[in-house]
Structure 1
C-alpha cells in the first residue's frame, strides 16, 4: 500500500506531490494505492487502516465487491464516497499471475482475460485497488515516484499534476482505455487469419470449433464495453447531480471539464466496441462467402451431372427400345443395323452437346453468365452450322465465291 499527498505550492500556486504529509502546505487530496494482496487476506485490518488514514468507513458489501474477482463493471454512490469497479483487459504488457499458483484464478475466455480495478472516490481521498503486475498502474506509479524525487519547483513543469481525486481517477481510466486501442492490430490479424482459412480452396475447412470460440471472444469484448459504458454513464450522472460532493471546497476544476473527460472516455470505449463489431461482421461475411462458394461448387457439380444425364438419356432410351425381347424388331437382321444405331446415337450426342453449348449450358465465361442473366437467348434456335460464323472460315468462303464467279 502506497500513499501520496497532493498539495498546493505556497509560492507558485501549482500542485505538488510527496510521499509524506506536509502539514505546512494546503493539502488538496490524498491517493492511497493498494493491491489485492493488501486486502484479500486481511480485509478487516485493511478497513481499519483506511479508516485511520482517511476517516472513511467502507461498506461491508462494497468490500466484498472489491474482493470479488468476477465482479462486473459497476458504479455505486454513497453519502461518504463513490465506488467505481472497472474491468480491464489483461494485455501482454501486464505481469499478472493467472496460473495455478495465483491466489485467485482468472476467468480467461478464449484467450481474453480481464481484471477488476476498484476506485473509491471522495472529495479529499482516492483509493485504488488493483492486481499486482498491472502495467497501467505501475507505469503511472513510477512516474509519480520520479516526480516525488524532484524539487517542488520542478514537479509541475513536464505535465500538470491532478488537483482532485476525480481528476486522478479519470486520468488512470484514460490510460487503461487508450491501451485498448493497441488491441486493434492483433484482432485484425486474427480476423485475416480466419478469412484466409475460410476462403482457401485447396482443402476442407474443419476448424469450426475454434472459429466459434473466436466469435465468443469478440462477443466478450462487446459485453465488456457495454458494462464499461454503463458504469461511466452512471459516473457522469453523479458528476452532473452531485459535483460539489466530488470537487470539495477548492473550486479549481470546472464541472464542464470533468464531463468532457468522461464523454471522451465513453467515446473511446464506443470506438473499441464498434471496431469489434466490424471485425465480427468481417468474420461473418467470410463465413457467408465460404458457404456461398460451397453452394456454387455444389451447383456446378449438379449442373455437370445434369448435362451428362441429359446427353445419355436418349442413348439409354434407344438401347432400352432395341434391347426388348421381341421376335420382330426393325433392323434386327440387317448386317449394318448395329452401325446405323451407333451412328444415330452419335448424332444424338453431338446434337445435344451443340444445343447445350449454344444455350451456354456447357462451359464458363463472362458472356455466358451475362447472357443467362439478361435472358437474351430465349428464342435462340439450334444452328448446326454455327462453325461457319467464325471469321477465318468466312474469309475462305468469300475467296471461294470470287473464284467461282471468275470461272
Structure 2
C-alpha cells in the first residue's frame, strides 16, 4: 500500500510510505526515483540488518524497530524487531516496511501535520529517534525481569524455572545490544560536522543512553547467571557434605556389624552373655567420638 505523506508543493520535499509493497509497486517507485536494484533487493529482505550506504544520488538506510507483537520467548532479531528501509535525499524520503508501523504515523503527525520539519534531514532525524525509542520500553521490562530472577536466585524462592527465564532475558538483551552496535554507523553519519545541530546531537545522546542501558543489562545478566551457577554449585556441595558426614558415621558401624555377621564357628564373642550390649556400647562410643571430632573441626 502506497501513501503520500508530503509533497514538494506543500512541504518542499516528497515523502512516500510503502507498506508491504507488491513487486509492481516497488519497481514503479524504483523507476520513478532511479533506485539501484541492489538497494531494492536489500529493502525487500525481511531479515536484513541495519546499514547505511550512499548509492549514486541517494542514501539508503535500513534500521530495525522493536515489535510489541513479539512472544514472550522470542529470542531472534526477526522475532523481536521489524525492518524499515529508507531512501533519502534532500528532495525526497521513501520509507518501506512490511507491516504497519505506528511510529511512522506518529512521526508523520508531528513532523508533517504540525509542520515540525522543513527538510528531509529533520524528518530522518525524527524517524531514527522514534526507532531508538522503541527499545526503551523493552529495556525497562527486561530490567524488571532481572530484578525478579535476582530475588528468586538469592532468596531461594523456586517459584519459576529460573534458568530458562534467564536464558531468554540474556538472548533478548544480546539481540538488542547487537542491533544498537550495528546501528552506530547510521547515527554517526547523521551527526556529522557538516549537518550537526541540536537535534542530531540529541539523537546521538539518545543512542549513547540506550547503548549504556543495554550494556548494563548485558553485564547484570551475565553476573546473575554466574551467581546462579555458583549458588547451585554451593547447594550441591552442601548436599554432598551432609551425605559425606552421614557416610562417615555409618562406615565404622557397618564395619563392626559386618565383622560379627560373618558365619565362622569359632567367634568367642558370639557366646558372651554381655556380647550384644557390649558391642552396642562400643558402637555408641564410636558415634560419639566421630561427633566430637567433627565438632572440634567445625564441620558440624
Same fold (TM over 0.5): yes
In structure 2, what is the equivalent of residue 65 of structure 1? 42
Secondary structure of the corresponding residue to residue 93 of structure 2: strand
- Residue 141 of structure 2: which of 158, 181, 186 is its match? 186
Q: Taking structure 1 as reference, are residues 293 and 78 closer, same or farther at Cα in structure 2, changes over 3 Å only?
A: closer
Q: Which whole-Å CA distance do the structure 2 matches of 1:332 and 1:42 have between them?
A: 103
Check if 1:109 corresponds to 2:48. no
Q: Give a deviation string over 1:301-352, Cα, whole Å, max 9, x none.
A: 22222222222333334344445526263x5544223322322222222222
Q: Taking structure 1 as reference, are residues 212 and 274 closer, same or farther at Cα in structure 2, changes over 3 Å only?
A: same
Q: Which whole-Å CA distance do the structure 2 matches of 1:80 and 1:110 have between them?
A: 30
Q: Which whole-Å CA distance do the structure 2 matches of 1:302 and 1:143 have between them?
A: 65
- Residue 336 of structure 1: which of 274, 279, 283 is its match? 274
In structure 2, what is the equivalent of residue 32 of structure 1? 15
In structure 1, what is the equivalent of residue 87 of structure 2? 120
Give the C-alpha shift of residue 138 in structure 1. 0.5
Q: Give a deviation string over 1:57-99, Cα, whole Å, max 9, x none.
A: 222222222222222211111342212222222236xxxxx9x
Q: Show structure 1 runs of 5+ residues with no match.
A: 7-20, 93-97, 99-106, 148-154, 156-160, 244-254, 363-407
Give the C-alpha shift of residue 169 in structure 1. 0.8
Of the structure 1 ranges 179-188 and 309-318, higher mean CA displacement relative to structure 2 is found in 309-318
Q: Taking structure 1 as reference, are residues 79 and 41 closer, same or farther at Cα in structure 2, changes over 3 Å only?
A: closer
Give the C-alpha shift of residue 280 in structure 1. 3.5
Check if 1:83 corresponds to 2:42. no
Q: Which whole-Å CA distance do the structure 1 matches of 2:292 and 2:78 have between them?
A: 59
Check if 1:279 corresponds to 2:279. no
Of the structure 1 ranges 222-231 and 34-43, higher mean CA displacement relative to structure 2 is found in 34-43
Of the structure 1 ranges 181-190 and 260-269, higher mean CA displacement relative to structure 2 is found in 260-269
Q: Which whole-Å CA distance do the structure 2 matches of 1:307 and 1:229 have between them?
A: 58
Give the C-alpha shift of residue 30 in structure 1. 0.5
Which aligned pairs between 1:317-336 and structure 2 lie closer than 5 A? 317-323=255-261, 325=264, 327=266, 329=268, 331-336=269-274
In structure 1, what is the equivalent of residue 27 of structure 2? 44
Q: Which whole-Å CA distance do the structure 2 matches of 1:204 and 1:118 have between them?
A: 43
Q: Which whole-Å CA distance do the structure 1 matches of 2:44 and 2:77 have between them?
A: 24
- Residue 176 of structure 1: which of 126, 131, 134 is its match? 131
Higher helix share: 2
Are the equivalent residues in 1 in contact too, given 2:187–2:204 (CA < 8 A)? Answer: yes
Q: Show structure 2 runs of 5+ residues with no match.
A: none
Secondary structure of the corresponding residue to residue 85 of structure 1: strand
Q: Which whole-Å CA distance do the structure 2 matches of 1:235 and 1:145 have between them?
A: 20
Q: Which whole-Å CA distance do the structure 1 matches of 2:109 and 2:129 have between them?
A: 17
Provide TM-score, normalisation by structure 2.
0.80
Q: Give a deviation string over 1:7-58, Cα, whole Å, max 9, x none.
A: xxxxxxxxxxxxxx26xxxx8x30313123456442232334xx3xxxx422
Give the C-alpha shift of residue 110 in structure 1. 8.3
Are the equivalent residues in 2 in contact too, given 1:75–1:235 (CA < 8 A)? Answer: no
Provide TM-score, normalisation by structure 1.
0.61
Q: Give a deviation string over 1:81-124, Cα, whole Å, max 9, x none.
A: 212222222236xxxxx9xxxxxxxx983894322223322233
Q: Give a deviation string over 1:224-276, Cα, whole Å, max 9, x none.
A: 1111113333445xx45xx5xxxxxxxxxxx342xx64454344334333323
- Residue 300 of structure 1: which of 238, 247, 251 is its match? 238
Q: CA RMSD in A?
A: 3.4
Q: How many residues align?
A: 294
- Residue 291 of structure 2: which of 343, 353, 358 is its match? 353
